[in-house]
Amino acid sequence: MSTWKSDTLIPLTDLRAGKSAEVITINCGHQLIKRLCDLGLLEGSTIKVSKNDSGPLIIEILDTRLAIGRGQANKIYVRELE
């Protein structure tokens, strides 16, 4: 079982590289939610940020690396894990 570092929800864009988090909610339209679900990014998923500097974020989920645009990543709210 995962332990949250904080009860505070933050947008994925605020999570630093090397940190892990649980996806809590995705605030966007049905098209984007379907696309993210098809990629394995669902509410309740555990992800790890590999890159978060300029350009798209690179995240790891289910042994796969995904590039997520900053606009999309800003709509994904997570809770950082310890």
pTM of the model: 0.86
Residue 55: which CATH number? 2.30.30.90
List residues bridging with 10 in a β-sheet.
78
Residue 49 resides in a domain: yes
In the sheet where 57-61 sits, what is the strand order?
10-11, 76-80, 20-26, 46-51, 57-61, 64-68
How far apart are the C-alpha atoms of 15 and 61, rounded to whole Å?
15
> Which pLDDT tens digit goes with each residue over 1-47?
455 555 789 999 999 999 999 999 999 889 988 988 898 899 999 99
Q: Which two tokens stand for residue 74?
A: 């800003």
Residue 2 resides in a domain: no
pLDDT value at position 1? 46
Asked if residue 73 lies in contact with residue 58, where contact means CB atoms within 8 angstroms, the answer is no
Residue 3 resides in a domain: no
Q: What is the DSSP string of 63-77?
A: TEEEEE-HHHHTTEE
